[in-house]
Structure formats: structure tokens, C-alpha cells
Amino acid sequence: MAVNTDAALEMVKARLNRLPGDTRLDNYFAQRIEAAIGDLEGTGIHLTESARDLMLLVDYTVWSYQNRDKPGGMPEWLRLARRERWLQEKTVTADSETEGAETDDP
């Protein structure tokens, strides 16, 4: 299951105070969303259909759009949200590997 990019586009437009009927930059925003998905997947985060993942994608996309020409790093709240999601992914992966492992204990 992957994140709903159509919903992400609508939410990105809302966060940027663009009218839903204004479609002039939809292709550009869609590409920004795809780039954000790639960035997050590059760090080991595989987005799902959850509301939490959708909001992380929207927040990350809007931040990257608004700060594309500005120096400085990611805000702490977004960095922590991304890190928490990454840790959640690693915990799920570790748990699934543990369940599939056979033990040799007597």
C-alpha cells in the first residue's frame, strides 16, 4: 500500500493557501510530492496509507517547496517527525525478522 498522492496534492495546495480549482501548478506540485517520496524512501521510510504518513509527506513537501532557495536546515519538528517515522519502520522490520527466525534453543 502506498500513500495517496492525489490526497497529498490537495493537502499541499491547502497548506500553501491555493484554491482547489487553481490547477496551474498541479504538475509541479505532483513532481515535488514524488521527489519527497523518493527522499523519504532514500532514508528507509516506506510510506503507507496512514494519516500519519500522509501528513509527513505533505509537511516534507511543503517545507521543501517553501525553502528551496533558502539556506538552513530542516526545522526541528520536521526532523524529529521524520526520525520517529524512520525508527517506527526499523522497529517493524526488526520485529518481522525476529518472528521469521527459528531458534536453536534446547
Residue by residue, pLDDT tens for the chain (106 residues) are 589 999 999 999 999 999 989 999 999 999 999 999 999 999 999 999 999 999 999 999 999 999 988 888 899 999 999 999 999 988 876 666 766 655 554 4
The answer to whether position 104 is within a domain reads no
The answer to whether position 103 is within a domain reads no
Which domain range does residue 66 map to? 5-98
Rounded Cα–Cα distance for residues 39 and 57 (Å): 10
Domains of the chain: total: 1
The answer to whether position 105 is within a domain reads no
The answer to whether position 67 is within a domain reads yes
Rounded Cα–Cα distance for residues 104 and 88 (Å): 28
67 membership: H or E segment, kind and range: none
What nine digits make up the cell of 68? 528551496
* pLDDT in the model for residue 58: 98
Q: How many CB atoms lie within 10 A of CB 25?
A: 15
The answer to whether position 19 is within a domain reads yes
Exposure on the CB side of residue 35, measured as CA atoms within 13 A: 13
* pLDDT in the model for residue 2: 86
The answer to whether position 27 is within a domain reads yes
* pLDDT in the model for residue 1: 55
The answer to whether position 106 is within a domain reads no
The answer to whether position 48 is within a domain reads yes
pTM (whole model) above 0.85 = no
